Structure 1
Amino acid sequence: MQCSWKSMMLLVLASIAIQYTAIRTFSTKPLSLLYSVGLAPRGHAVNCSLKDLTKLGQETIESSDQGCDETRTPFSPASTSDSSNVNKRTHILILATTRSGSSFVGQLFNQHPEVFYLFEPLYHVQLALLPRLSQSRNPAERRVMLGAARELLRSLYHCQLSSLENYIRPRPSNHTTDKLFRRGASRSLCTPPVCEASLGRETQSLVLTDEGECARRCGPLNITLATDTCRAKLHAAIKTVRIPQVSDLRALMEDPRLNLKVVQLVRDPRGILASRIETFRDTYRLWRLWRATGRRPHNLDLGQINTVCEDFLRSVSTGLARPAWLRGRYMLLRYEDLARFPLQKAKELYSFLGLDLDHSVEEWIINNTRGSSDLSSRQKFTTVRDSAANAENWRLKLSFDMVVYTQTACQPLLELLGYKRVFHPRELRNLSHSLVENRTFLPFL
């Protein structure tokens, strides 16, 4: 397979950018360029020629754990000296796609007093390196993003939050920034001791009504204080929509220092499409035109939903195949099940992770799954909603033709996850008949 000169030039330039940031952050680590772009997994001695690297850049994401001639080498004593302490922590990654309910799942951990939670830190990697990668389906381009993302995740789980500074724009001054993406979504970053630098004792009774209030009342984020808070917590959780497939995380899953567990959140792609059309109005303008006129625009980007189904299918297929490297570290969670049975699924989730379900989490679930459907329709990023009613309300928002196209393009995924197809407009609108099959997806223990 041949790459165009433009793709090769993009890969080279992006690799140089990642090398620069990796050298600044991991100056003591050899082969920083190879590790940062994901060409060399940890614990390997690598012997690659330029021809090999070019070939690797053209390979698909599924082969990310294969590359040049390698020799397995053991971890050095220095790299494992603190593994006994680190392994006491449970590191959680919520793997999802946009508008699949991931913010809600993230809050199930954010509400726990002993969990340090970060909301979409990889946003800064994407924005700093190659912003257009958010919609990219080019394997070489996605590989560049994934290499940097893995390195940052590894650092964040070790509470090396200063690694984020290489990607935040403008760059933080004196380890302080007001540009962290949606800081207010993390309680740990909006409460003492991170917040009390600005509010003192008043913060003890601070109740935030929205994310924006955190920045207004707490002031710029002190990354050093945030780092200390991360280290003081028993566990850490990160939510991301910027890792396409669980196989992209294999190098992290096999790292004995991380004790990383992945919760893969999935949702009916028809529901994802309906939510994106309502939320990202400019990006999905042609979809709204199709819905309004009944005619599909000839220049409609069908890849916007096709990519979701392709990534979900590959990732879920990997997880359900139960490879040895995922044993005890992978759980599949359908958004619809969580919406209908939030407390039950939360208990199953915490049981899989080996954590105690704190009463504060239970209280949050009760208070945030009985909101009004009208509220959720007006506030697109809220987690307060009537979760059961929201699970399948996409059936009232998409035209029948749009549903037919989506379920045809995503048929293998629908069958794998237990989502029923519809064959008539009346069947689509009949909400008394659920399109979600009763299926049980047990964690891989």
Structure 2
Amino acid sequence: MFDISMIKKRWKRVLLTLGLIIATAHLYLTLFAVQERSYIREGRHLDSYVIQGTTAGQTFNLNKVTPKVTRVVAMDNDKNIFYKLNQKQLTTRNPNITTTSVDVSSNTSSTQDTTQIVNMVPEISYNVTHILIVAYIRSGSSLTGDILQQDPDSFYVYEPLHFTEKMGKKLQSVQLLNGKYVNIERKLFFNRAFTIINSYFDCNFSNLDFGTLVHGFQTFGNKTNKFIKCYVKKLGQKINKKLATQMCAVELEKMCQNSRFRTIKTIRIPMQYAEVYLKRYPSLKVIHLVRDPRAQVNSIVSLANTTRYNVGFAKQKCRAMERDHYFSEVYRTKYPGRIKRLYYEDLASSPIKTSESLYEFTGMNFTSVVRDYITGITSAGLSSCAICSKRANSSEHVEKWRLKLAFKDIQLIDKECMSVYKHYGFLPVQTEKDLSDLSIPLRKTI
């Protein structure tokens, strides 16, 4: 005779397994199969891609270059937000709160067209070190962030603003973990960005929205990836998405709170906003990651398989880099020992030496395990992964653009970026022969 109860148990296991597979597939289709138009704002980001997996490559579809954004909104906490537009300043949300203003934009250079930023954030003390990596698209930020998360005491968040910026073009509001709704329209991006970054730095995720928390980019963080795995598992147990997120966020907060170093990597925040966080977090260290604009353009061209936006992209990127240089110099003087300029070329050419200096700057422990990991990801691995940290040979990768870009395109980029070269020490290419002669340096030591 057949054992009916045994058959039912087996079918139940089959159905549970099938449900887990379907839930997992649904999650990864949602998180990784993202495809939309591309936008470049101030040379900072390029959002059109198809992510095929956590180590897969990207393909870009350049469609549009947006004009430079000159309206700047100074950010504060929920109690106070100041706007300074056309030299008029007004306060919203509780105007009775006393604040102080710090004008950091007395620049007399070409950055005068950027609206002044007003800073009025109260200082908060934490027994942790906060690290903010300010970078640009295709500047080596994935590699930098990955290196800095190898200290086991590090909590690393990869591009936490991507969901808000992307969905701000489509949605008016999103629901937060605490059940409230918040406006994420594009015009309010920097206000929302302030809350998101603070939430991760403070390990208080109640003000984060569900989309930000379960975004596929969070698989790039060693600890945030554990949250994603927890989320997938809960979905497989037929727990609804919101409850699954809330349950797993509890463990994520614990991992964050137990980490001495909290690192955020973003290509979506200009350097001028760094002072908001420097004032709020006395332990904050800012790493300003820079790469030769021509190398960045070449990387975009290679991914997009087009040269259509070479000049426009370079113009916007160099405009952003010029402003960031000014503010980074202001903050290096005002906050000594808390701002570090990192050249991708140095990290790729001398990964161990440069990584040691990064760990010294942040206070992290550069162990033999960390050293071995860095050696592995910079000397072997993938060469075609668009947003991965691994490179077949990172030192060769530094000069690759010189053998790929046409001399006439280089000349156009040099013309647009000449003032940036002077700030960062990059050198224009004089002749086509000089371009292909890799023994001739195109960056001077500053």
Fold in common (TM above 0.5): yes
Task: Determine if contact 1:125/1:145 at 8 Å carries over to the other structure.
Answer: yes
SS at match of 1:243: coil
Q: Tell whether 2:134 aligns with 1:100.
A: no
Question: 1:301 Cα shift?
Answer: 7.4
In 2: Cα distance, 1:198 partner to 1:151 partner: 26
Of 325-334 and 378-387, more deviation after overlay is shown by 378-387
Give 1:88-237 correspondences, 5 Å limit: 88-130=127-169, 144-165=188-209, 168=212, 179-191=214-226, 195=229, 222-237=248-263
Q: Could you say if the C-alpha distance between residues 278 and 162 of structure 1 is closer, same or farther in structure 2, counting changes exceeding 3 Å?
A: farther
Question: 1:89 Cα shift?
Answer: 0.4
Which of 259, 267, 278 aligns to 1:253? It is 278
In 1: Cα distance, 2:318 partner to 2:187 partner: 19
Which of 386, 397, 422 aligns to 2:429? It is 422
Cα offsets for 1:184-221 (capped at 9, x unmatched)? 21111234x87468779xxxxxxxxxxxxxxxxxx979
When the two structures are aligned, how many residues end up with a matched partner?
338
Q: Could you say if the C-alpha distance between residues 435 and 234 of structure 1 is closer, same or farther in structure 2, counting changes exceeding 3 Å?
A: same
Question: 1:428 Cα shift?
Answer: 0.7
Q: Could you say if the C-alpha distance between residues 11 and 306 of structure 1 is closer, same or farther in structure 2, counting changes exceeding 3 Å?
A: closer
Task: Determine if contact 1:124/1:181 at 8 Å carries over to the other structure.
Answer: no
In 1: Cα distance, 2:412 partner to 2:70 partner: 34
SS at match of 2:265: strand
Which of 411, 416, 422 aligns to 1:409? It is 416
Question: 1:226 Cα shift?
Answer: 1.2
In 2: Cα distance, 1:92 partner to 1:314 partner: 21
Cα offsets for 1:82-124 (capped at 9, x unmatched)? x3xx2x2000011000100000000011222100001000112
Gapped runs of 5+ residues in structure 2? 1-68, 101-111, 172-184, 235-243
Task: Determine if contact 1:62/1:248 at 8 Å carries over to the other structure.
Answer: no
In 2: Cα distance, 1:276 partner to 1:40 partner: 41
Task: Determine if contact 2:332/2:339 at 8 Å carries over to the other structure.
Answer: no
Q: Could you say if the C-alpha distance between residues 41 and 95 of structure 1 is closer, same or farther in structure 2, counting changes exceeding 3 Å?
A: farther
Give the corresponding residue for 2:9.
Answer: none
Give the corresponding residue for 1:63.
Answer: 116
SS at match of 1:92: strand
Question: 1:360 Cα shift?
Answer: 2.8
TM (normalized to structure 2)?
A: 0.66
Task: Determine if contact 1:90/1:236 at 8 Å carries over to the other structure.
Answer: yes
Give the corresponding residue for 1:434.
Answer: 441
Question: 1:147 Cα shift?
Answer: 2.5
Task: Determine if contact 1:319/1:326 at 8 Å carries over to the other structure.
Answer: no
Q: Percent identity?
A: 25
Cα offsets for 1:413-436 (capped at 9, x unmatched)? 112212121121111111232323
In 2: Cα distance, 1:301 partner to 1:398 partner: 10
Cα offsets for 1:393-440 (capped at 9, x unmatched)? 10111110110010111011112212121121111111232323234x
Q: Tell whether 2:286 aligns with 1:279.
A: no
Give the corresponding residue for 1:216.
Answer: none
Q: Could you say if the C-alpha distance between residues 324 and 395 of structure 1 is closer, same or farther in structure 2, counting changes exceeding 3 Å?
A: closer
Give 1:284-433 correspondences, 5 Å limit: 285-287=306-308, 302-322=311-331, 324-371=333-380, 375-376=382-383, 378-385=384-391, 386-433=393-440
Task: Determine if contact 2:149/2:156 at 8 Å carries over to the other structure.
Answer: yes
Q: More helix per residue: 1 or 2?
A: 1
Q: Could you say if the C-alpha distance between residues 333 and 434 of structure 1 is closer, same or farther in structure 2, counting changes exceeding 3 Å?
A: same
Of 101-110 and 348-357, more deviation after overlay is shown by 348-357
CA-atom RMSD in angstroms: 3.9
Task: Determine if contact 1:128/1:167 at 8 Å carries over to the other structure.
Answer: no
In 1: Cα distance, 2:92 partner to 2:432 partner: 50
In 2: Cα distance, 1:303 partner to 1:41 partner: 36
Q: Could you say if the C-alpha distance between residues 198 and 97 of structure 1 is closer, same or farther in structure 2, counting changes exceeding 3 Å?
A: closer
Q: Could you say if the C-alpha distance between residues 387 and 286 of structure 1 is closer, same or farther in structure 2, counting changes exceeding 3 Å?
A: closer
Q: Could you say if the C-alpha distance between residues 322 and 381 of structure 1 is closer, same or farther in structure 2, counting changes exceeding 3 Å?
A: closer
Task: Determine if contact 2:414/2:428 at 8 Å carries over to the other structure.
Answer: yes
In 2: Cα distance, 1:334 partner to 1:41 partner: 40
